[in-house]
Amino acid sequence: MSIQNQQTKIVIGLFGFGVVGEGLYQVLANTPTLQAQIKKVCIKHPDKKRNAPPGLFTTDASLLLDDPEINVIVELIDDADAAYGIVTSALRRRKAAVSANKKMIAAHLPELIELQAIHDTPFLYEAACCASIPVIRNLEEYYDNDLLHGISGIVNGSTNYILTRISEDEISPEEALLEAQLAGFAERDPSLDVHGHDAANKLSILLAHAYGILAQPDELIYTGIQNLHEKDALFAREKGYEIKLVATAQKLKNGRIAAFVLPHFVPRSGQLAGVRNEYNGIIIESSLADKQFFYGKGAGSFPTASAVLSDLSALRYNYRYEYKKLHYQPAGRPGHDFSLKVCISFKGLLQVPHERFDRILEWSSNAQRCHITGILSAAELVSGNWWKQPGISLIVYPDGLRENDRDTEIPVSSGFVEVLAEA
């Protein structure tokens, strides 16, 4: 069933009553003008104490999915497999669905698009990318595919929180992660945040709406902040940079899209450096509007609930994603015809296969850390795993993407290779 007009009341079956589910419940309970009501909440653990009338809760999913009065299923649970079952069951019953589960959406988007079409029923998920920032609907509606040069930004609040606390308050990564967990920003399995999986899931969703590319997250080049070393932050500061985990999708000269999530040096005076704590920020570049910057809270109960609320409100006027860009152009895969100017930081010169660089531009070493600045091809990043190994960190320089410009930078003298031979 789809919501037919603005007079139709939204009757919600909610799955999950965690940080975001409870946030949504509180907002709806305090905003009667929205004409949306949660009829039942399906939860896993009935004995847990919750701040809502006990009669609201059930452990029986069919009481929600088979209730004809419920016209929207909102799914806000952690378990991606269970979330997939809930959303697909809802669509098959022609109930509109709303989800914030980026892992599930990134893994199943082609099928979810097909189900929406077959059952003529919308599935919205603005909360799955950058929480309070309305980025999906803007990419879908506002930006014409031909004009969009690139998107790049901070899409994971927990890692940004950790990097901010390490850089500004010099607390340990472990302490900072614990704070992010206590604040409800982190995933239940925080390695999804720290190792970059969450950001890759979000980039995979953004690619569909920005460029009509349906790519599984494991097709993208990505890593997280797990290997960054405290000396990397010092190295960055000496050069006038901060380190941020940045997701990038950029149109190449041949029309293909470079897509990666990697730690980046960002200029301290730039917009992304000003994105602190759990905030997210995305720069969208297009040929006519030039650069636009979207900024807002990227994690947490109310910021995420605000995006869910916006989806509910959009359902009232029958909004659905049209996936316009999938129809504009043949579905492409992310392109690998580019290189990146990176800094590889590690301990001990022999850990790093220096011959894998296209060029080495600069290097330095001291008792604690070695830094090599050089050009690595995307093909090397895709085929080799050495740069993700514990003890090695990779950080991309500002404007570090290179296309066919092999002669514009001067390689380092042969001294580097001589030192390697001695090491």
Give the residues lining the site for ligand HSE (CB under 6 A): 131, 156-158, 185-187, 193, 198, 298-299
Active-site residue, from 202, 244, 325, 341 = 202
Smallest gap, in angstroms, from Cβ of residue 185 to ligand HSE? 5
Question: Shortest CA distance to 123 belongs to which of 63, 181, 75, 193?
Answer: 75
Smallest gap, in angstroms, from Cβ of residue 344 to ligand HSE? 26
Q: Are strands 96-99 and 221-222 parallel, antiparallel or unpaired?
A: unpaired
Smallest gap, in angstroms, from Cβ of residue 227 to ligand HSE? 19
CB 96 within 8 A of CB 11: no
Cβ-proximal residue to ligand HSE, closest one: 158
Smallest gap, in angstroms, from Cβ of residue 220 to ligand HSE? 17
Instruction: Look at the block and give the residue holding tokens 């993700």.
Output: 388
Q: Round to whole Å and give the CA distance between 267 and 208.
A: 29
User: What is the DSSP code string of 165-188?
Assistant: HHHHH---HHHHHHHHHHTT-S-S
Q: 378-408 as b/e, with b when 16 or more CB fall inside 10 Å? A: bebbeeeeebbeeebbbbbbeebbbeeeeee
Amino acid at site 41? V
Which two structure tokens, joined as six digits, stand for 378? 């995307």
CB 91 within 8 A of CB 116: yes
CA distances from 386 to 20, 139, 199 (A): 38, 35, 21
Q: Which is nearer to ligand HSE, 3 or 162 (CB)?
A: 162
Q: Which is nearer to ligand HSE, 71 or 301 (CB)?
A: 301
Q: Which is nearer to ligand HSE, 245 or 257 (CB)?
A: 245
Q: Is 202 one of the annotated active-site residues of the chain?
A: yes
User: Helix 230-238 crosses helix 157-169 at what angle (to 10 degrees)?
Assistant: 70
Smallest gap, in angstroms, from Cβ of residue 105 to ligand HSE? 11
Residues with catalytic roles: 202
